[in-house]
A and B are shown apart, each in its own frame.
Chain A
Amino acid sequence: MKTATKRKSNFEATAWKWMRYSGFLLIPLVWIHVLIQDVIVGVHAIDIDYVALRWASIGWQTYDILLLAFAFAHGMNGLRQVAMDFVHTERGRKATNIGIFILWLVVSLIGAIAIIAGARPELA
């Protein structure tokens, strides 16, 4: 009798590896973002005009889209991995996965629309 249980897909193995590869990318991506916005510029120098100016440049728009895509997906998959340590039933895991997926999708869309459409300081 074969002891190994064959799975249809090795999604979890791919997700496990992906956390490491996306992590490599996120170190420069997140650290540079935090260094500029939190340490050098500082929260007291940030307003809607600052955001409008930043997103007027295709370079920073691209940067922030990459940040949103990789950091948030990495974070939500991390949350999923932590949740799998606590939720052990088939049904519970399925519900958790679906819930996390929907939250990821909705928040990602909100962020992406804002970055692409840009700030509207004239309405502030």
Chain B
Amino acid sequence: MAAPSNSLKTTATGYVGYRGGEWHYAFLLHRLTGLGTLLFLIIHIVDTATVYFYPSLYEHAIALYQSTPFMLGEVALVFSVIYHGVNGLRIAAVDLWMENRWSIKAQQMGVRGTFAISVLLWLPAAAIMLNALLEHNFGIHIFGG
């Protein structure tokens, strides 16, 4: 076994340097969206718990979430949750039920389908959220008066 510092470097450079095609990006995006969602989740659990532990603090937390950078983050969070779910379903399906039908072509189609389905599910949600952002934070009404 390599020394810890070497193996860390190997893993880190391997993450970015390995050219495995679209499934490599699917893997990277799965980890990135998972870790991003987890980071938000830890903050979200603790700030929501203030409604019991420190009720006067909650409105400050919500005010922060209503700010433009956090609302843009929310749009990214929704993409993360959608992509992680769709891609996770693909991973679970391949691992649990499709071990005998593995082929490069099928995997490639699966990964491309995962990207497409995620974006299609995300776009309407993103449109609604960006509309709310424009309306509440900039007073711009795109739909209606």
Query: What residues make up the interface of A, taking CB atoms closer than 8 Å to B?
Result: 20, 23-24, 26-27, 30-31, 34-35, 38-39, 42-44, 46-48, 51-52, 68, 71-72, 75-76, 78-79, 82, 85-89, 92, 103, 107-108, 110-111, 113-114, 117-124
User: Does B49 touch A at the CB level, under 8 Å?
Assistant: yes
Which of B6-14, B16-24, B100-108, B109-117 interfaces with chain A? B6-14
Cα distance A86–B15 in the bound complex, in angstroms? 11
Cα distance A85–B28 in the bound complex, in angstroms? 13
CB–CB A85/B11 < 8 A? yes
Of all chain B residues, which has the CB nearest A91?
B4
CB–CB A76/B88 < 8 A? no
- Write 6 A-B pairs (CB below 8 A) sorted by A numbering: A46-B65, A48-B51, A78-B38, A103-B42, A110-B53, A120-B55
Of all chain A residues, which has the CB nearest B71?
A43
Cα distance A118–B51 in the bound complex, in angstroms? 7
Of all chain B residues, which has the CB nearest A122?
B55
CB–CB A72/B55 < 8 A? no
Most chain A Cβ neighbours within 10 Å, of B52, B58, B71, B74 = B52
Q: A30-B85, A123-B56, A124-B59 are in contact. Are A39 and B45 (CB under 8 A)?
A: no
* A residues near B98, Cβ cutoff 8 Å: none
Closest 4 CB pairs of A and B: A114-B49, A75-B38, A119-B51, A20-B92
CB–CB B51/A86 < 8 A? no
Of all chain B residues, which has the CB nearest A42?
B132
CB–CB A124/B58 < 8 A? yes
CB–CB B45/A107 < 8 A? yes
Q: A48-B59, A89-B4 are in contact. Are A39 and B46 (CB under 8 A)?
A: no
